[in-house]
Chains A and B, each alone.
Chain A
């Protein structure tokens, strides 16, 4: 309506005001940080683009870019890593360093990355002239401000001027549908999985040693929780943005259906992977300087990716594990390629390829294994769960499984239940819920494929689902029921989005 009344800019002013209000709701003081960061980076962009010749001529573009990037990283580093750094130094020197607790402002990891990418693109000459209003909306656009997707300026800013062609009701219909699915994923699926994951990790933190099935239950439940939580959030962001006529990039593409870790990183948190590839991996040299250098680059990128999620050894381990997985995956490809290409007795590629189902299962388990370190609050609890996964903490099953008693001649098994797993939601329910959700992540098409015809995200969707959403009465009822179930689910409490903490 505002666009009709006063043109596109008035609509953008309203979106900017709404976005700032949304951000300030958590902590109004953080608004100074966000607005200051936007102002600084927009100004830095102008200088880098040569719009302030006096400064750019004196310092030169490389220096200006370095100043801009370092300033952003310093801000992020202070808020995100100061506590960790001070605690670590204190631990190393055995002294308590008086230093107040620095509270991490919401979304700082996301808006900092977007703006670093912007500055680098200005330096590379890939940025058109944007108005401050457009830039401000690009950084603060509330649907994706808090937890992504991490968008490129060239993906969304042009949409601000053009606006969405077509009928606004279509955007509202499509946006509401995607939003409802995202809300359902978060409230019903992620939060249900959380009731089985959290007790296991909490128990390990409190000093318990999870037994085999308990540890596996906790690991799988968290693996499902984080997927539905984050992909739910991304759907909600994409849906909400669509209601404003803005298309966001895809962030999840059924990652647990990946047949390799390389494929996984092309499907999980796609916009972060893209950022790390374009602004870290490739500038480091990428795969241009031999395999050894490539592996080093991969490991470095994944370790930094881990640290980006949080200041803690457990995040570094998570990143390190994924770095290792990628190295193994690339090595396997190289070896397979070499064997297939050799002149004498070449090995057919089919003979070296794993069965797709096996490849998917191995990839899924590797990813799930790494999530343990990601979720655990300290090394001790991560270690306890890892020991449990390999059976070092013993095996305990529910008393209903006593028909397995003959097995106790081979392996010592207690029938004392599954410990913390299911202590909130019930053991049997836990097993059933995890089994159902595993089937969903293994086979169900993700949201964007159901809506492929509506072009729900930027870019082309190559593999649309056979069943397609349409603005029909039947789909209206389905969407309404999904939304209603999610809203009912909210009445029994909602966990905070996992990625809000990053």
Chain B
């Protein structure tokens, strides 16, 4: 009799334990459900495919590997023209091109990541033309390449992602309304645009990658995130503060240069044409770098080497080369849509890029959006006006 009672007691204890664990697991399950409903658990391939059908913006807050995502876009879109480079080339848009195009910006962040991406891209597809935006700091002797050994996030559900929505919820980054709307509602929309959205960042403000891989800084343009680089103050502080990308240097890092040259030769050997350019900096930033207080002799050496490489090269770093206005930048180092399209037009007029570009549309939009950072193609998608987000007094 005593034993039977004991069994009952322990059975009740275990039941209580299980029920407690199940109840405690509910926030975790909701968190996973949120990630699922927000599209954060979708694989890169599925995202790339889905974007082509729906035109959604993909802005993840948990998946960190732009490279793998861009490779999937290349696999899906089989582009004639690919733009490579860092985040500074990401405003070149497919709407201006007559043929298939992928903006693989943010995949060539330095020589380590660039070499790897090019090699992986040619395993998937051979584009006809590759345009590379070259950042000068890749060749700064003090600049550190990223550690590739750290591995890449292949997307999907991993242990460290599961609780992120709960963390956002606790820190106030994710309002309860948005949390509930994403889980239980139709999801996908926000007050800034009428675009479809995939991923937490995109759901918030439609900030993220368009179906061509180009990036949309909607969180800044339309006011969700304010106070980033006002009057380029943050970028200017990076110059004087010795930020790694603005380190001084007398000579380029030879071994990285040789690797870059080998990468260009590899692309040519695959049968693609190559165009190189150095993306611009906002005019005040360029002026601060050129005021003589800091020594950037290595950039001039880089420009000479690029000119002598035997492929078309266009330098938009020199002050007299850029015709962009300060209001056309996203911040001190990222040219906006208009500034980027000015570059594309200039290159197209003198190279094979012209064969792929709808120059008439580019000119039309440049006229229409002069002094803006963001170009709109479909007004029904953007009910909100671009703001003077850099606090420069720009009329938008």
Please judge, given known A-B contacts A491-B162, A493-B160, whether A484 and B12 are in contact too, CB under 8 Å: no
Please judge, given known A-B contacts A484-B21, A484-B25, whether A476 and B162 are in contact too, CB under 8 Å: no
Residues of B within 8 A of A287 (CB): none
B13 touching A475 by the CB < 8 A rule? yes
Please judge, given known A-B contacts A167-B6, A488-B28, whether A480 and B16 are in contact too, CB under 8 Å: yes
B163 touching A167 by the CB < 8 A rule? no
A476 touching B20 by the CB < 8 A rule? yes
> Is A173 at the interface (CB under 8 A from chain B)?
yes
Distance in angstroms from B277 CB to nearest chain A CB is 39
A167 touching B7 by the CB < 8 A rule? yes
Q: How far is the CA of A477 from the CA of B159 in the complex (A)?
A: 25
- CB proximity to B under 8 Å, residues A458-502: 471-473, 475-477, 479-481, 483-485, 488, 490-493
Distance in angstroms from A200 CB to nearest chain B CB is 23
B17 touching A479 by the CB < 8 A rule? yes
Specify which of B9, B12, B21 is in contact with A483 (CB 8 Å cutoff): B21
A492 touching B160 by the CB < 8 A rule? yes
> Is A172 at the interface (CB under 8 A from chain B)?
yes
> Is B19 at the interface (CB under 8 A from chain A)?
yes
Distance in angstroms from A172 CB to nearest chain B CB is 7
B13 touching A476 by the CB < 8 A rule? yes
Please judge, given known A-B contacts A484-B20, A484-B21, whether A491 and B13 are in contact too, CB under 8 Å: no
Q: Mark A138-174, 1 if CB is under 8 A from B, else 0.
A: 0000000000000000000000000000110110110
Specify which of B10, B20, B159 is in contact with A491 (CB 8 Å cutoff): B159
B12 touching A473 by the CB < 8 A rule? yes
> Is A176 at the interface (CB under 8 A from chain B)?
yes
> Is B24 at the interface (CB under 8 A from chain A)?
yes
Q: Which B residue sits closest to A475, measured CB to CB?
A: B13
Residues of A within 8 A of B6 (CB): 166-167, 170
Most A-side CB within 10 Å, residue of B9, B18, B25: B9
Q: Mark B42-58, 1 if CB is under 8 A from A, else 0.
A: 00000000000000000
Distance in angstroms from A173 CB to nearest chain B CB is 5
Q: How far is the CA of A491 from the CA of B7 in the complex (A)?
A: 34
Q: How far is the CA of A332 from the CA of B10 in the complex (A)?
A: 50
A484 touching B24 by the CB < 8 A rule? yes
Q: How far is the CA of A485 from the CA of B24 in the complex (A)?
A: 8
Most B-side CB within 10 Å, residue of A176, A476, A477: A476
Residues of A within 8 A of B160 (CB): 491-493
- CB proximity to A under 8 Å, residues B132-166: 159-160, 162-163
Q: How far is the CA of A471 from the CA of B20 in the complex (A)?
A: 14
Please judge, given known A-B contacts A480-B17, A481-B20, A481-B24, whether A490 and B159 are in contact too, CB under 8 Å: yes
Residues of A within 8 A of B159 (CB): 490-493
Q: How far is the CA of A473 from the CA of B19 in the complex (A)?
A: 10
Distance in angstroms from B24 CB to nearest chain A CB is 3
Residues of A within 8 A of B13 (CB): 173, 471-473, 475-476
A173 touching B10 by the CB < 8 A rule? yes
A480 touching B11 by the CB < 8 A rule? no
Q: Which B residue sits closest to A485, measured CB to CB?
A: B24
Residues of A within 8 A of B25 (CB): 484
Please judge, given known A-B contacts A484-B20, A490-B159, whether A476 and B7 are in contact too, CB under 8 Å: no
Q: Which B residue sits closest to A474, measured CB to CB?
A: B16
Distance in angstroms from A289 CB to nearest chain B CB is 53
> Is B262 at the interface (CB under 8 A from chain A)?
no
A480 touching B163 by the CB < 8 A rule? no
B14 touching A480 by the CB < 8 A rule? no
Q: How far is the CA of A62 from the CA of B72 in the complex (A)?
A: 70
Specify which of B3, B14, B19 is in contact with A172 (CB 8 Å cutoff): B14
Q: How far is the CA of A215 from the CA of B64 in the complex (A)?
A: 35
A480 touching B28 by the CB < 8 A rule? no
Specify which of A166, A477, A488 is in contact with B163 (CB 8 Å cutoff): A488
Q: Mark B1-43, 1 if CB is under 8 A from A, else 0.
A: 0010011011111111111110111001000000000000000
Distance in angstroms from B12 CB to nearest chain A CB is 7
Q: How far is the CA of A484 from the CA of B20 in the complex (A)?
A: 8
Q: Which A residue sits closest to B25, measured CB to CB?
A: A484
Q: How far is the CA of A485 from the CA of B27 in the complex (A)?
A: 12
Most A-side CB within 10 Å, residue of B3, B19, B20, B25: B20
Q: How far is the CA of A176 from the CA of B14 in the complex (A)?
A: 9
Q: How far is the CA of A484 from the CA of B29 in the complex (A)?
A: 13
Q: Which B residue sits closest to A180, measured CB to CB?
A: B17
Residues of A within 8 A of B17 (CB): 173, 176, 476-477, 479-480, 483
Residues of B within 8 A of A166 (CB): 3, 6
B163 touching A476 by the CB < 8 A rule? no
A170 touching B163 by the CB < 8 A rule? no
- CB proximity to B under 8 Å, residues A214-267: none
Q: How far is the CA of A481 from the CA of B18 in the complex (A)?
A: 10
Q: How far is the CA of A475 from the CA of B12 in the complex (A)?
A: 11
Residues of A within 8 A of B10 (CB): 167, 169-170, 172-173, 471
Residues of B within 8 A of A476 (CB): 12-17, 19-20
Please judge, given known A-B contacts A471-B10, A480-B24, A484-B25, whether A491 and B163 are in contact too, CB under 8 Å: yes
Residues of A within 8 A of B21 (CB): 480, 483-484
Q: Other CB < 8 Å A-B pairs besides A477-B17, A484-B25, A491-B162, 4 of them? A: A167-B3, A173-B17, A479-B17, A480-B18
**Can you list 19 pairs linking A and B with CB atoms under 8 Å apart?**
A166-B3, A166-B6, A167-B6, A167-B7, A169-B10, A172-B10, A172-B14, A471-B13, A472-B13, A473-B12, A476-B19, A476-B20, A480-B16, A480-B19, A480-B24, A483-B21, A491-B160, A492-B159, A492-B163
